[in-house]
Amino acid sequence: MIRMVRQGKVMSCQLAEVEIQADTVCIHGDGEHALDFARTIREALEQAGVTVRAPGRIVDGSGV
C-alpha cells in the first residue's frame, strides 16, 4: 500500500506493474482483527511520511 501511495504503482495479479493515481485509500473489514489491521496500516503509512486525513479534507481542501 505504501508503494501505491508514494510511487503510484501497484502489482497486478499477473505480476505486472500498473501505474495508478490513488486519491483515497479505503479499508474494509468487519472481522475480529479489523481494527488492529487498520491501525497497523495507518502506522505504516505515517512512518513512511504519508499524511492520513479524512476524505473530505482531501476533496474540498478546506481542512475542516
pLDDT for residue 56 is more than 90: no
What domain range is 47 assigned to? 25-64
| pLDDT at res. 26 | 84
The residues, any chain, with a CB within 8 Å of residue 8's CB and separated by 6 or more, are: 19, 20, 21, 22
Side-chain-facing half-sphere of 42: CA atoms under 13 Å: 11
Does this model's pTM top 0.85? no
pLDDT for residue 61 is more than 70: no
Asked, for residue 4, whether it belongs to a domain, the answer is no
Q: Residues 29-49: pLDDT tens digits?
A: 889 999 999 999 999 999 999
User: What total number of domains does the chain contain?
Assistant: 1
| pLDDT at res. 16 | 96
